[in-house]
Structure 1
Amino acid sequence: MSDALQAAPTATGQGLPEAGWLARLQAQLRWRVGPETLRPAHQIEPLGDEPSGYRSTGTDPHFRLDGLLAAGWYMLELKMRLPRARAQAKLYLDCGSGESEALSAPLPLRWGRMAKRIVHVPAPARLRFDPLDEAGEFAIQHFALKRVSAAFAHGRIAAKLRDNDRRYADDATPAPTEPLQRWRHYQHVFERRDHAEANYAEWIEQCEKPALPSRAEQQAEQASWAWRPGFSILTPTYNTDPDHLRACLDSVIAQSYPHWELCVADDASTDPQVREILAEYAARDARVRLLLRPVNGHIVEATNSALAMAGHEFAVLLDHDDLLPSHALHMVARALQHRPSAQLVYSDEDKLSPAGERCNPYFKPDFAPDLLYAQNYVSHLGVYRRTLLERIGGFRKGYEGSQDYDLVLRCVAQIADPADVLHVPQVLYHWRMAEQSTAHGGHNAKPYATEAARRALQDHFDALGRGVRTSVIAPGLYRQHWPIPQAEPLVSLIVPTRDGHDILRNCIESILEKTSYRQFEILIVDNQSSCAQTLAYMEQLASEHPDRIRVLRYDRPFNYSAINNFAARHARGEVLGLINNDVEVISPGWLGEMVGHALRPEIGCVGAMLYYPDDTIQHAGVVIGMGGVAGHAFKTQPRGSRGYFDRLLVSHNVSAVTGAVLLLRRAVFEQLGGLDEAGLTVAFNDVDLCLKAQAAGLRNLWTPWAELYHHESKSRGDDFAPAKRARFEAECALMEARWATAILHDPCYSPHHVREESGFVLAAPAATSQAAALQPQEHPVPEPA
């Protein structure tokens, strides 16, 4: 049979025909499907004025496809005009037992972009295609289902998993090889959806807009300020789309804050409309200053030309097709009233879809240097003190594509006080998604940007003399390899235990057998064990490993803080590790990775990636205030998930980490007074320790490159006996009194995200006070009350 075989229309029925099934099957089989086979079946009406246009009239629109699809591997290609920026299409297979989610192929879509995925058809199948799950007009610009070889399919699956699942990265733990498991992981890549995106339009209407002061209120507030900083907006242009250029210029002129100038440097545009539009706006408003460069010098030279025109205190970076909301400069000026010495100000941002819709918001943390070392999260809106830019020499040639990243790294190196880097937790920049913009598809749209960013990072660390090596994780994501001295410091791993022979053996043997960093000792702290098997095992360990393992007896009632403090006094190591007896090593490099960070003088506590035995996340950092006092971010998400803006792929700052696997320098532990054995005997002592480190001016850090299992029960609940419940409530009250500021605002977590367990989801309008989050606030490092 040929690929072009046309199948006759078939009656819709349950399963395959029974009589003469082979002949009928052969008559209907097809190996290629195109748009001509789509038949509107439910809640779909054709649009008369557009051949490929349709209207969905409900939430379950779908097409049926003529004929049967032969078993095998296929590539699904789909491009659509959507009613909004994003949607989720899905292909259902009916192999004779009806349609089900188990035999479906989801495919996330972006407006006007081609989406592709591999589809496996295990047996001849009827097809149903759901283009989206909402009412609205759409157009199918391209639809194809093409037969491919098994080798091609497996190659595409492997490439997708390498790009989207850490288990399949080149330097990760050996990836699963079982085909069904790999297929499930591949399916999961397409099943992920950003739930915050779906709620973003509602959030804008119900949270952002009501919280914003009116233009008159903004101007009245400005009149009350003794200092009104001036802003020079730097905008290089080159052959900009005329409509986008006008929209950009209009967004500047519409600013409610009047103390600005727009410094436009046109980089020898060949489109005469560009210079005509610029001249028009310069004639309309004297604050629009225009420089026409005679020779094209690309983005760095053009932006430096704009910087040379600047005369105000602060320089604002604005790309030639992006937009500022009308309150942007007002909010930056307001933030500066609270910190006049600020050198750098940045805000949250979102994207503009090709349809002009706001989408994909990035709600950022306060200044987090280690996240900055992993990705340019500062990005837009970026506001820099002009004298700082002049001191570092402006933008550097040779870093095109990542010139903003290079700039912020060189600026941060010159800022002595981290408090002079301000974060305004509001969306003050709309980044237009264009085909060649990094806003459209991350840094994949500009491959050369990745290498420029890596060199900028390497330059930054070389200038600091830290001996750090930078590598690329994925486009736009970077890893820093922190050095360990040639004379490797001893690490004392403290493992409290009571009985529990099997879990203790699993923990200790995994450390001994799998840990590549060998300069460690293990202090097993026996807290009144009575199990003969456990006692014998501990004695065996001490006998077989006299130079590496010691057993300490703590013959008092259980007090986690006191047990660890006791062991710390007996430790010989320069670095201490708090280790639960129910963890199991996965990645051999876990300890070396954590030691490299713990030795950094600016770092306090270091935490690891911990998984439940079913390969879902147990710990990837702690958010203060989540679930009350503190909770785990990304809890129960599948192993290999990327996290919010790829947070699970990179080392980054967090306010706290769990004590199940926690490393810090012994000197820091002693400086902080160890764990609170008087007030926090069981709960929150690790969080309290981390917050004390933060209050002392140290940064806490979580790394995904140290992976262990935590055999804690996922279903462990709050079934406390009355005495335990009373103790837990008292410890909660102590934390709420001691760390009230931190519980109200975790600087590593956006106030616009939910405080429920797992987190990093946009809060529903009624779930949190977004109005309060939009008000000017100072967020000092939390100090104990």
Structure 2
Amino acid sequence: MSMANSKLGTLQRLGFRLKRAVGLAEDSSIRYSRLLSRAKHLAVVLKTKGLRYAIAKILQKISQKLEVVAPPVEILPETHQSDDINYQQWLNNNYPRQADLRKMVETVDIFSYQPVISVIMPVFNPPESFLRAAIESVLEQVYPYWELCIADDGSTNSYVRPILEAYIEQDERIKVLWREENGHISVASNSALELATGEFVALLDHDDLLNPDALYEVALLLNRHPYADIIYSDEDKIQDDGKFKDPFFKPDWCPDSFLSRMYTAHLGTYRRSLVTEIGGFRVGYEGSQDYDLVLRLTEKTDNIFHIPKILYHWRSHTASTASNLESKSYATDAAQKALADALQRRGDSGKVIPVVCGYHIIRYEIKEFKKVSIIIPTKNLGNILDNCLQSIFGKTQYPNYEVLLIDNGSTEARTHEVIKKWQTKEPDRFRCELLDIPFNFSKINNYAVERSQGEYLLFLNNDTEVVTPDWLEAMVEQVQRPSIGAVGAMLLYPDNTIQHAGVVGGIGGVAGHSHKYYTSDSPGYFGQIQTINNYSAVTAACLMCRRNVFEEVGGFEEELTIAFNDVDFCFKIVEQGYRNIYLPHVVLYHYESKSRGYEDTVEKQTRFSREIKYMQNKWQKIIQYDPCYSLNLSNKTEDFSLRL
């Protein structure tokens, strides 16, 4: 029997390794996109290298993975548990052990700055075990300079008052204010704020948990950046069985992302004087009262910092927002109201449009319909070009634009026919100029800018097709804003999977496309696909910027003839203090590399390697740490999976 079990165990381990080798043991939410990515890559290899080579490479990959892939992840002592094997591995690698916590206690003694942090906790009838756990998570903090400010909002469950009274007796740092009637969370939070004496306040829900090092990490950041006014951390969720799931690893401060979703959330720590200055929490915004608070705080300060660590555990149970956003649909209504108020305060005319997952997008009012120059480099492939031009002239609603085609030496009769056709049909809006030089994307586009007329420049590939008729309006809405540099779109493959939804620095050694091969209607990583987001770069297959921004950064780098010139351009824009942005509601098809083809020759691969080296030498900092991404997410794949 033991021999049979041993054989069965061996077969199970081998089966698991084989599943991992071909990508079937991964989380189902990312499995499809990875398999599709590998299938499309295989199609390219088959086309360029042949069947025998492709089969050899597949067998080699499987063999390598069978040798190195370990069995399912074991749970290490002193580590939180998760049913997600990838998150369990991340926890094993990153969760603080007792030795780490003891070291933190010693470090606190040498902090030159030891601010008191007031933990604000409104309470109303939480489950008894959850209330105790929340309070215990504060008592277990390795940083001792805190006070827990509780406002009981007229709880009717008989166990609440005795529990709170017992904790008052246990630790003098715990304060409780007893409200005689229920005023809901905004009023109760303000009551708790009245108890606060600390220089900073941190927000804790009555059923959630702080990690033991949470306040220590906040104090550590404040010792490095004592002028910080707003601090937020990463977070995950805790299930009823005590296991952890859904880690949310966030970007650094991205103002436009924040206008689509309250991504900073927990753990949020704020300078108390600023919270007092803006009047605390506002009644009428319950469910998104913290979103409204932070929207107003960010109008008072730019000193906003992110701690890229899981410091907060959001309780996921039947009645919680963490478990079911629909259970608090009023929260999304309050968020929409808070965003509309923010626009009005800031003097921005626009509409707040609800989208999936309770998030929103802002559609700004166009102040002036300035001319847009749509710049399209092209060579041959007349039907592809004709499809692109037909979609522009047939669908575009924006009233003031020109199309400037740069013919890079077309030799096919069909292409010349297409050009003549559009010169005849659109004589006022279509121009074509010949630039018959060896292909250099940067040089062609720089040349085109010199001959364009528009205040706004739109760089567009000839193998694209417009889907959304208001595409130019949506891009102009954003590019007219002084803070915005480059504006990008959602680009789809013909099968409606994503080709581009923003560019992340560092993936694959230089940069990669966010959520590549996901379906176009997928929410992505915590709604990332369907919301407006700041990215360090967007692809120039469809990129809009102001002329003055283009000139300020010196246009496209002509040393980068084909690859990464758009990424380099966007990084230069970020370096000048502008923000780049991705718009999910601007959709085009992109029949990728139809004109140029793939990197399938020795000459092309040599050039590609040279361009990679150029980027890595010039942009090492942003490639190693993209502030619009997370160090805890993969730098190898484009699916926002964990970095393990």
TM-score normalized with structure 1 length: 0.70
CA distance in structure 1 between the partners assigned to 2:153 and 2:549 by the alignment: 53
Alpha carbons of structure 1 residues 222 and 628: separation in structure 2 relative to 1, 3 Å: same
- Report the residue type matching 2:242 in the other structure: G
Q: 1:394, CA displacement in angstroms?
A: 0.1
Identify which of structures 1 and 2 has the higher relative contact order when contacts are C-alpha pairs closer than 8 Å and 6+ apart.
2
Q: Which residue of 1 aligns with 2:321?
A: 438
- Of 407, 416, 421, the match for 2:293: 407
- Of 582, 596, 618, the match for 1:702: 582
CA distance in structure 2 between the partners assigned to 1:319 and 1:548 by the alignment: 58
Alpha carbons of structure 1 residues 388 and 396: separation in structure 2 relative to 1, 3 Å: same
TM-score normalized with structure 2 length: 0.85
Q: 1:483, CA displacement in angstroms?
A: 1.3
The 8 Å contact of residues 196 and 761 in structure 1, kept in 2 or not, is answered as no
Alpha carbons of structure 1 residues 196 and 476: separation in structure 2 relative to 1, 3 Å: farther
Q: 1:272, CA displacement in angstroms?
A: 2.8
- Of 468, 480, 499, the match for 1:599: 480
The 8 Å contact of residues 291 and 335 in structure 2, kept in 1 or not, is answered as yes
- Of 378, 392, 396, the match for 2:282: 396
Q: Which residue of 2 aligns with 1:207?
A: 94
Deviations 1:67-96 (A, max 9, x none): xxxxxxxxxxxxxxxxxxx999xxxxxxxx
- Of 306, 310, 321, the match for 2:207: 321
Match status 1:680 vs 2:560: yes
- Of 293, 307, 311, the match for 1:424: 307
Q: Which residue of 1 aligns with 2:218?
A: 332
CA distance in structure 1 between the partners assigned to 2:601 and 2:222 by the alignment: 48
Match status 1:569 vs 2:456: no
The 8 Å contact of residues 632 and 757 in structure 1, kept in 2 or not, is answered as no
Q: 1:532, CA displacement in angstroms?
A: 2.6
Q: Which residue of 1 aligns with 2:344?
A: 462
- Report the residue type matching 1:318 in the other structure: L
Deviations 1:86-138 (A, max 9, x none): 999xxxxxxxxxxxxxxxxxxxxxxxxxxxxxxxxxxxxxxxxxxxxx9xxxx
Compare CA radii of gyration and give the structure with the larger one: 1
Other structure's SS at 2:237 match: strand
Q: 1:576, CA displacement in angstroms?
A: 0.1
Other structure's SS at 1:346 match: strand
Q: 1:716, CA displacement in angstroms?
A: 6.5
The equivalences for 1:299-314 within 5 A come to 299-314=185-200
CA distance in structure 1 between the partners assigned to 2:156 and 2:206 by the alignment: 15
Q: Which residue of 2 aligns with 1:656?
A: 537
Match status 1:482 vs 2:364: yes
The 8 Å contact of residues 483 and 579 in structure 2, kept in 1 or not, is answered as yes
Q: Which residue of 2 aligns with 1:510?
A: 391
- Of 556, 571, 582, the match for 1:691: 571
Q: 1:720, CA displacement in angstroms?
A: 2.9
Match status 1:739 vs 2:622: no
User: CA RMSD for the aligned pairs?
Assistant: 2.2
The equivalences for 1:7-406 within 5 A come to 197-209=84-96, 214-406=100-292
Q: 1:478, CA displacement in angstroms?
A: 0.6
The equivalences for 1:516-665 within 5 A come to 516-665=397-546
Q: Which residue of 2 aligns with 1:163?
A: none
- Report the residue type matching 1:448 in the other structure: Y
CA distance in structure 2 between the partners assigned to 1:543 and 1:515 by the alignment: 18
Q: 1:449, CA displacement in angstroms?
A: 1.3
Deviations 1:720-739 (A, max 9, x none): 323x2222222111111111
- Report the residue type matching 2:233 in the other structure: S
Moved more, 713-722 or 458-467: 713-722
- Report the residue type matching 1:435 in the other structure: T
Alpha carbons of structure 1 residues 598 and 197: separation in structure 2 relative to 1, 3 Å: farther
- Report the residue type matching 1:234 in the other structure: I
CA distance in structure 2 between the partners assigned to 1:489 and 1:601 by the alignment: 15
CA distance in structure 1 between the partners assigned to 2:85 and 2:227 by the alignment: 39
- Report the residue type matching 1:199 in the other structure: N
Other structure's SS at 1:521 match: strand
Deviations 1:189-209 (A, max 9, x none): xxxxxx994421232123334
- Report the residue type matching 2:505 in the other structure: I
Gaps of 5+ in 2: 1-11, 14-26, 30-71, 73-81
Other structure's SS at 1:656 match: coil
Moved more, 238-247 or 697-706: 238-247
Alpha carbons of structure 1 residues 196 and 637: separation in structure 2 relative to 1, 3 Å: farther
CA distance in structure 2 between the partners assigned to 1:637 and 1:467 by the alignment: 33
The 8 Å contact of residues 635 and 757 in structure 1, kept in 2 or not, is answered as no
Deviations 1:689-743 (A, max 9, x none): 1111111111100011111111115997531323x22222221111111111000
CA distance in structure 1 between the partners assigned to 2:154 and 2:107 by the alignment: 41
Other structure's SS at 2:201 match: strand
CA distance in structure 2 between the partners assigned to 1:746 and 1:306 by the alignment: 37
CA distance in structure 1 between the partners assigned to 2:322 and 2:421 by the alignment: 59
Structure (1 or 2) with the greater helix fraction? 2
Deviations 1:255-299 (A, max 9, x none): 000110011111121223211111111111111111111222111
Match status 1:669 vs 2:555: no
Deviations 1:582-618 (A, max 9, x none): 0011111111111111111111001111111122111
Moved more, 253-262 or 337-346: 337-346
The equivalences for 1:764-779 within 5 A come to 764=644
Other structure's SS at 1:423 match: strand
- Of 471, 477, 486, the match for 2:353: 471
Other structure's SS at 1:758 match: coil
CA distance in structure 1 between the partners assigned to 2:205 and 2:245 by the alignment: 18
Q: 1:554, CA displacement in angstroms?
A: 1.2
CA distance in structure 2 between the partners assigned to 1:553 and 1:717 by the alignment: 24
Other structure's SS at 2:528 match: helix
Q: What fraction of aligned residue pairs are identical, expressed as a percent?
A: 44
Alpha carbons of structure 1 residues 756 and 619: separation in structure 2 relative to 1, 3 Å: same
The 8 Å contact of residues 356 and 530 in structure 2, kept in 1 or not, is answered as no
Other structure's SS at 1:648 match: coil
Moved more, 272-281 or 458-467: 272-281
CA distance in structure 2 between the partners assigned to 1:716 and 1:324 by the alignment: 52
Q: 1:546, CA displacement in angstroms?
A: 1.9
CA distance in structure 2 between the partners assigned to 1:732 and 1:325 by the alignment: 40
CA distance in structure 1 between the partners assigned to 2:568 and 2:413 by the alignment: 35
CA distance in structure 1 between the partners assigned to 2:182 and 2:214 by the alignment: 31
The 8 Å contact of residues 633 and 757 in structure 1, kept in 2 or not, is answered as no
The 8 Å contact of residues 197 and 361 in structure 1, kept in 2 or not, is answered as no
CA distance in structure 1 between the partners assigned to 2:606 and 2:224 by the alignment: 41
Alpha carbons of structure 1 residues 320 and 395: separation in structure 2 relative to 1, 3 Å: same
Q: 1:213, CA displacement in angstroms?
A: 6.2
CA distance in structure 2 between the partners assigned to 1:377 and 1:499 by the alignment: 46
CA distance in structure 2 between the partners assigned to 1:544 and 1:400 by the alignment: 56
Alpha carbons of structure 1 residues 691 and 620: separation in structure 2 relative to 1, 3 Å: same
Q: 1:475, CA displacement in angstroms?
A: 5.0
Structure (1 or 2) with the greater strand fraction? 1
CA distance in structure 2 between the partners assigned to 1:581 and 1:430 by the alignment: 48
Alpha carbons of structure 1 residues 408 and 286: separation in structure 2 relative to 1, 3 Å: same
Other structure's SS at 1:202 match: helix
Match status 1:496 vs 2:377: yes
